[in-house]
Amino acid sequence: MSLNETPEESIYTVNFRKAWITPEYKRTNRVVGILREFAKRHMKTDDIKIDQYLNRYLWMRGKRNPPRKIRVRMTKDETDTVVVSLYEEFKERKSQTEDLEVKQEVETPEEQPARKKKKEAEGKEQAQPEVSTKEEDKDAAATNPDEANKKVPEPKTDEKPRKKSTRKKKPVDQET
């Protein structure tokens, strides 16, 4: 591969049916092996790297229950290293950036001042300090002195009294 060429990319769907032949407690290990074998066969190199997001996806449901099949993107760089990554990851990133572009285009110049006014109104509401309950209590006590003298009964708890220890305490030796 020359330096001017772009990295070779391919998208594959890998079926892991062979993993269900192995014992239950080795299935996800076998899935990783099948994925490496598949990448070696199709990309024709022995240097295979599995992306951390793909690895997490494979191990998400534990050692006994890996996914049955998966869609991956294999990228071969200049040093013949193949990076195997999850295909949905790229799809989600692309759709998120497209959504941002669409939102920016939809907003017309007429909507911008209305949006700014709305933000300013929200900011003013948040800037006003709230009256604390202590201040409200003081105001109520100033208007009705009878209510200020009333004590609110504390809720009783069902705590049992602690038993005293039956163990004898050791006498403390004092050195003189």
The pLDDT tens digits of the residues spanning 133-152 come to: 555 555 555 556 555 556 66
Check residue 24 and give its pLDDT.
Answer: 95
Confidence class of residue 1 from pLDDT cuts 50, 70 and 90? very low
Contact 37, 48 (CB under 8 A): no
The domain over range 8-90 is classified in CATH as 1.10.579.10: no
Tokens standing for 147? 């209510």
Tokens 């009705």 sit at which residue? 144
Residue that wins the pLDDT comparison between 118 and 37: 37
What mean pLDDT, rounded, does the chain reach?
Answer: 77
Tokens standing for 13? 């769907």
Check residue 68 and give its pLDDT.
Answer: 95
Q: Where are the alpha helices (DSSP H) in 60-161?
A: 87-106, 111-127, 133-143, 145-149
Query: What's the whole-number mean pLDDT along residues 110-132?
Result: 61
List pLDDT tens digits, range 82-112: 999 999 865 666 666 666 565 555 555 566 6
Beta bridge partners of 84: 50, 74
- Residue 174 Cα to chain centre, angstroms: 60
Amino acid code (one letter) for 94: K
Check residue 88 and give its pLDDT.
Answer: 81
What is the model's pTM?
0.50
